[in-house]
Chains A and B, each alone.
Chain A
Amino acid sequence: MPSLGADMESGVLLEWLVEPGAQVHRGDIVAVVDTDKAEIEIESFEDGTIDDLMEPGARVPVGERIATITVDPTSGSQPDPAPVPAPTPAQPVKSVVPTPTPAPSPPAPVAAAPRVVLPHHERPRVSPLARRAAEARHVDLTHLEGTGYDHAIVLADVERADADSRIPTTEPATSALAGAAAPDGHAATMREATAALMARSKREIPHFSVETTIDLANAMAWLESHNAGRPAAERVLPAALLLAATARAARDVPELNAHFEGGRVKPATAVHVGVAIALRGGGLIAPAILDADRSSVDETMERLRDVATRAKRGVMRASEMTQATITVTNLGDRGADKVLGVIYPPQVAIVGLGAIRDRVTAVDGMIAVRPSVIATVAADHRVTDGHQASRFLAALDHHLQTPELF
């Protein structure tokens, strides 16, 4: 069970989109998992043959195995001694990290299925007692620090975590939110997931923010002529233009385009812009538009439309949910003037864009009425300072003055 976001502790395996024994390729969508936020399509990490599919329906902690992928021998690990009916002449090779075969566990409510991690996840070191206790108490092991033998997670760690965070995660209170549209009473669990993540952000991240007002006369004029004569299906919204400009500013000021994990900054190698999307009936989701700095305005619009439509249907892809390097929260044309965002861990900055309005401003020594937007950036002061944040807003302004260059 891959982690599909910093706030994900477990997921419910909904369905497999492949048959046991099917050939899969890296990036293929193989399964659908319901996190507390959305139904997410899981992509394969490897080329190979998928097997040992876990029975759908169970809630599975992050890091547990849900399937085995047998990869080509070219990638080189242990030869598989088991006879595998494969037409290829070479012996297939198991890519799964070696783990004990499933022991007959004591009657537990979930997970009687094989439990080995997918290739890219190291199985956390957890004592059998702690694992059993965590299962019984619904404690997520992925973020615990072990204090036991060789720093394994032991019973005491689980008990501490259980005491620390008694958030009722198992019983979604169906009436907690007036979320009629959210499927299966998701609204409440999504609220909890958002609450946990935002509380963590405010608890751990020393936020600071800067703001500026950006003149959008050029941008809106460009957009108007761009959209002129196009049917609605081909029109570009200001949101897409702002997003494309933000992505380019993030590329210009890489200090804000990063993750902060385990006490250190990991600069991002690409710009994946998360877009905070309010769901009808409540809830927030922030899927990423990948490589947004390399997309044209039209492409950005197309992808924004795709992501937003799917987000509202509750079907996201794993890569969209985990890879954002910076997030934009845009209140849109009917929203408030200004928004100071809360950073999505492990990202280090969030860009807030208020409503585009006509405002009185000074232009060339004259009073003028021009469309403008108040742009803010909230950033992690452990990682960056006001100087970089100001440079970021300056870059954003610069790009928005020249949309024709996108």
Chain B
Amino acid sequence: MTTSATELRAAIASVLADIAPEIDLGAIDASGNLRDEIDLDSLDALRLIEGLESRLGVTIPEADHATVGSLDDLVAYLARRSAEQPTGYDRRDDESADTR
């Protein structure tokens, strides 16, 4: 029950569109420090996390913030978290997928 890296990237891009609309995720260094790459201040960063929590139905504890540096880190972290803790949001999508 994992979400693919492509889907996660799309989710990140969609949340960022609200916070930093001018950013093209494809154009940044995915292994560089994400906040430096796209110039997010602490409020922006919090909004990103908030957006990801709500969109993906995962919780991202504050203690984990420091472990996530780059875009690649974030995608990997989110993949791990969404596999660990599927929530209502994911299930609904999955159920509809199961009917296929």
Contact = CB atoms under 8 A, between A and B. Distances in A.
**Do A and B interact directly, with beta carbons closer than 8 Å?**
yes
Interface of A: 180-181, 224, 227-229, 231-233, 235, 237-239, 278, 280-281, 304-305, 308-309, 332-334
A229 B42 CA distance: 19
A220 B73 CA distance: 25
Interface centre among A228, A233, A238, A304 (most CB of B within 10 A): A233
A229 B50 CA distance: 14
A333 B42 contact: yes
A182 to B, nearest CB: 10
Closest CB pairs A-B (n = 6)? A232-B50, A232-B49, A233-B50, A181-B22, A308-B43, A332-B41
Contacts of B20: 181, 280
Main secondary structure of the interface of B (DSSP, over half): helix
A330 B29 CA distance: 27
Contacts of A235: 46, 62
Contacts of B47: 305, 309
Interface stretch (B53-61, B77-85, B92-100): B53-61
Contact of A231 (B36, B43, B50): B50
B22 A237 contact: no
21 contacts: A180-B22, A224-B62, A228-B61, A231-B50, A232-B46, A232-B53, A233-B50, A235-B46, A235-B62, A237-B46, A280-B20, A305-B43, A305-B46, A305-B47, A309-B47, A332-B41, A333-B42, A334-B35, A334-B36, A334-B41, A334-B42
Nearest to B59: A231
A233 B36 contact: no
A280 B59 contact: no
B interface bracket (residues with beta carbon within 8 Å of A): 10 to 19
A309 B48 CA distance: 12
A227 B54 CA distance: 17
Nearest to A278: B41
A244 to B, nearest CB: 15
B42 A332 contact: yes
Interface in B19-54: 20-22, 35-36, 39, 41-43, 46-47, 49-50, 53-54
Contacts of A224: 62
Given A233-B54, A239-B42, A334-B36, 6 more contacts: A233-B53, A237-B46, A280-B20, A280-B39, A305-B46, A334-B35
Interface centre among A180, A308, A333, A334 (most CB of B within 10 A): A334
Interface centre among B35, B36, B46, B62 (most CB of A within 10 A): B62
Nearest to B21: A181
Contacts of B46: 232, 235, 237, 305
Contacts of A228: 61-62
Contacts of B60: 232
A229 B59 CA distance: 9
A334 B39 CA distance: 10
A267 B45 CA distance: 37
Contacts of A229: 61
Contacts of B49: 232
Contacts of A227: 62
Contacts of A309: 47
B64 to A, nearest CB: 11
Contacts of A333: 42
B36 to A, nearest CB: 7
Nearest to A180: B22
A238 B50 contact: no
B95 to A, nearest CB: 24
Contacts of A305: 43, 46-47
B42 A281 contact: no
B43 A239 contact: yes
A334 to B, nearest CB: 6
Nearest to B50: A232
Interface in B62-91: 62
A334 B50 CA distance: 20
B76 to A, nearest CB: 19
A187 to B, nearest CB: 12
A224 B63 CA distance: 9
A314 to B, nearest CB: 12
A237 B50 contact: no
A239 B46 CA distance: 12
Nearest to B43: A308
A239 B35 CA distance: 17
Contacts of B43: 237, 239, 304-305, 308
B97 to A, nearest CB: 26
A303 B40 CA distance: 19
